[in-house]
């Protein structure tokens, strides 16, 4: 999976290849984060999350993504 951050972050695109699939950064303001999930067959799922550092609290969002078992059977072990 790849996180796509605001252009002021470097690097802007951050790949995460192993669990836990999370990213920690410090910042300020409000912006949209892109999340790209790329499968072995090249298929890409795209998610967007509005992230706000303006509350003074940690900004966290957890997404549960469920896949049909037939799809998982095609994943190489």
The predicted-structure confidence for 65-75, as pLDDT tens digits, reads as follows 666 665 555 55
What count of other Cβ atoms lies within 10 Å of the Cβ of residue 35?
19
Q: Does pLDDT of 6 surpass 70?
A: yes
Phi-psi region of 29 (alpha: psi -120 to 50; beta: other; left: phi over 0): left
The tokens of 35 are what?
């999340």
**Phi, psi (rounded to 5 degrees) for 44:** -125, 130
- Supply the pLDDT for residue 54: 76
- pLDDT single digits (tens) 7-66: 999 999 999 998 888 888 888 888 899 999 898 888 898 888 888 877 777 666 666 766
């Amino acid at each position: 999976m790849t996180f796509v951050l605001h252009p002021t972050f470097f690097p802007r695109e951050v790949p995460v290849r192993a669990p836990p699939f999370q990213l920690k950064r410090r910042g300020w303001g409000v912006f949209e984060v892109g999340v790209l999930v790329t499968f072995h067959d090249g298929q890409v799922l795209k998610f967007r999350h509005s992230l706000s550092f303006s509350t003074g609290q940690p900004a966290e969002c957890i997404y549960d993504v469920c896949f049909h078992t037939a799809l998982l059977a095609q994943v190489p072990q």
